[in-house]
A = this chain, B = another copy of it.
């Protein structure tokens, strides 16, 4: 995490900016996915100033309060860019947790959970494709983010399919003793 904190630092690496401008830039780059509340920019800036990463003294020609990176702030953001994002440092994946617990929870239809999620993920995929068509060639950052969403969502759908087939195999192995090879037991087709 700390995406917002580091995001703001990264924007300040380009030039001094004021709060409202930071929000606009941040949203322009990352697209309207994950909209950023303006209030959060100010709270985050206050925390950054508290930590000595930025300074927010001087005012603009207009009455706008400019924030500038300090030395430690520059070090922090450079460190961020130089360090890979590790999976252990990311928040727990809610979908993984859900499925891991759904497989043994009583009264929970895992197939239904999978199906609901797949439907929604496929719908999301369509949305992204539509957005990509509308996004111009110019906005490189936004295009990359969108591509990332597409890649992630495609992987999610593949994983859901994979879960389903693994579940089927697990149940086949669990409930009936190995069926005779000659009669390929007709699973009940519907429901």
Contact = CB atoms under 8 A, between A and B. Distances in A.
A157 B177 CA distance: 41
A3 to B, nearest CB: 4
A156 B153 CA distance: 11
Nearest to A29: B100
B144 A113 contact: no
B13 A99 contact: no
A172 interface: no
Given A94-B1, A95-B85, A14 B155 contact: no
Given A34-B92, A81-B108, A96-B144, 10 more contacts: A3-B93, A3-B98, A6-B97, A7-B101, A83-B116, A85-B98, A85-B120, A101-B141, A144-B163, A151-B155
